Structure 1
Amino acid sequence: MTDRVWLAALALAGGLLGGALIAPPATHAQEAAVGRTSGLPVPRFLSLKADKTNVRSGPTKDHAVAWVFTRAGLPVEVTAEFETWRRIRDADGAEGWVYHSMLSGRRTALVGPWLKDGPTPLYANPDADSAVRARLEPGVLGKLDKCDGKWCHFFDNGFDGFIEQEKLWGVYPGEKLE
């Protein structure tokens, strides 16, 4: 939504809601909201801790299991918190609720599932002119330990190098990891 459209919507909402202040939707470049329970930014990326993780339709064990993740380490985006539950989104855009202890702070990423131009190069250094160490297919899972906003150190068993940050799902554009 453009600033102009948002301001018009704000003016209309102010009139309809008796002047209540409504903030524009946050972008990651802006300061993220803070989760009431964890005190951590929302949204944020984490990874799955266990090979079997139930994803529920709501934030209690009374809610039905919507699906089950069967691979530890997959990146997920926390989009909301409710007590000890986290609403997550996966790389396909599916959302559901998981118990907080099923999540890890370990940062991982997937080579962009949306990339259709063939394998993505993994470079020896954070520079497209450096040697190509590997070519990774969309959906390859790896670990992150550093991102400078443009390049990430991406590695796992069998590969280690640098990949352009915009080609990963599990880290925000421009986000820096140390």
Structure 2
Amino acid sequence: MSPRRLTWLVACLSMAYAPLAGALEFRSVKESGAVLYEAPALSAKKLFVVSRYYPVEVLSTQDAWARVRDATGAISWLPSAALSAQRWLLVVSERADVRTTPTAAGVAFSVPKNGVLQLMDPPSNGWVHVRHRDGSTGYASITDLWGL
């Protein structure tokens, strides 16, 4: 294949998959006790109750409802008003060691599995700048977190 044709093919594929690259929209629950439903209606079966800051991936919206996926892969519905634009990340490893710099430097603090950390800056080189609810900040490995 000629270099020119290969460049054209790569450009076409990039345009075709570009919408998928930006398709992930993560949001967080803004108040404790938010209910996840089986369908987009208050009369639908209640599936789970999630706590404040719990991150979800928004798959679609319908009227005042958001269809969401949680860290386990479960799909449910949540009133859109229960979602915050503020991003929180869920610790999915046994423990996330948050470091003082984005390297294997000293551990500033640790967060156990299912704990949450606020996203401060987009990930870079496998690390993400985060803040604990107590105000402590540092860098965590993206492999320890869900919601990016």
Map of 1:48 onto structure 2? 29
**Separation in structure 2 between the aligned mates of residue 31 and residue 137 of structure 1, nearest angstrom:** 34
Measured on the aligned residues, the alpha-carbon RMSD in Å equals 2.2
Look up the match of 1:10. Answer: none
> Is it true that 1:137 corresponds to 2:112 in the alignment?
yes
Aligned pair count?
Answer: 131
Contact 1:147–1:165 (Cα < 8 Å) also in 2: no
Higher helix share goes to which structure?
2
1:32 equivalent among 17, 20, 23: 20
> Contact 2:30 / 2:52 at 8 angstroms: preserved in 1?
yes
Superposition misfits of 4+ residues, deviation over 3 angstroms? none
Is the alpha carbon distance of 1:132 and 1:67 closer, same or farther for their aligned partners in structure 2, counting shifts above 3 Å? Answer: closer
Please, which runs of 5 or more residues in structure 2 have no aligned partner? Answer: 1-15
1:167 aligns with 2:148: no
TM-score normalised by structure 1 residue count: 0.65
Q: Quick one: which of 98, 123, 132 aligns to 1:122?
A: 98
Give the alignment of 1:1-178 within 5 angstroms: 30-32=18-20, 42-69=23-50, 71-112=51-92, 115-116=93-94, 119-128=95-104, 130-149=105-124, 150-156=126-132, 157=134, 159-171=136-148
Assess if the C-alpha contact under 8 Å between 2:123 and 2:129 holds in 1. no
CA contact 2:98–2:110 (8 Å) conserved in 1 = yes
TM-score (norm 2): 0.77
Alpha-carbon distance between aligned partners in 2 of 1:89 and 1:76, rounded to the nearest angstrom: 6
Distance (Å, rounded) in 1 between the aligned partners of 2:33 and 2:96: 29
- Whether the aligned pair in 1 keeps the contact of 2:90 and 2:116 (CA below 8 Å) is yes
Alpha carbons of structure 1 residues 148 and 158: separation in structure 2 relative to 1, 3 Å: closer
